[in-house]
Amino acid sequence: DNVAKKRKMYEDFLTHISILKDMDPYERSKVADSLKTKTFSDEEIIIKEGEPGDTFYIIIEGNALAIKGKTVIKTYSKGDYFGELALLKNKPRAATVKAKDSCQVVYLDRKSFKRLLGPIEEILHRNVENYRKVLKQFGLDTACIEGN
């Protein structure tokens, strides 16, 4: 059936995502079941800085850019994730994320993120330190990632 097909399709892919590969296989299969797919075209805005956000994304094909103000602060490719900060910290989106060429993503809503990625929340929180370093390197305000 559909559920089995989707699980098979994403289970293997998810083992290649660095933050998810240490998850329990059963938990990871639950993530696979909950993913939805969306394709963005070149230059399309996936996340807009300053807006409220309820979605967590992983790229399954293509590339994207994270931009703060006018500065490109990160480039993303297959297997990279973004959009977790607004969910972890209950803050507006810290940056804009824009598709570069065509970009296919899988995504989770806030409820599924909290329920399914609870076991790795600590790892996601730890990564915020890297964001802080990058923002400082570019001379950008770090207020967007502080708190919680």
Query: Binding residues for ligand CMP, per CB under 6 A?
Result: 47, 53, 66, 73-74, 82-86, 93-95, 97, 131, 134-135, 145
Tell me if 76 sits within 8 A of 98, measured CB to CB: no
Cβ distance to ligand CMP smaller for residue 35 or 85: 85
Instruction: Compute the least distance from the CB of residue 42 to ligand CMP, in Å.
Output: 19
Cβ distance to ligand CMP smaller for residue 10 or 131: 131
Here the tokens at position 82 are 């973004």
Cβ distance to ligand CMP smaller for residue 13 or 92: 92
Query: HSE on the CB side for 115, CA within 13 Å?
Result: 10
**89-102 b/e with 16+ CB inside 10 Å = b?**
bebebbbbbbbbee
Instruction: Compute the least distance from the CB of residue 94 to ligand CMP, in Å.
Output: 3
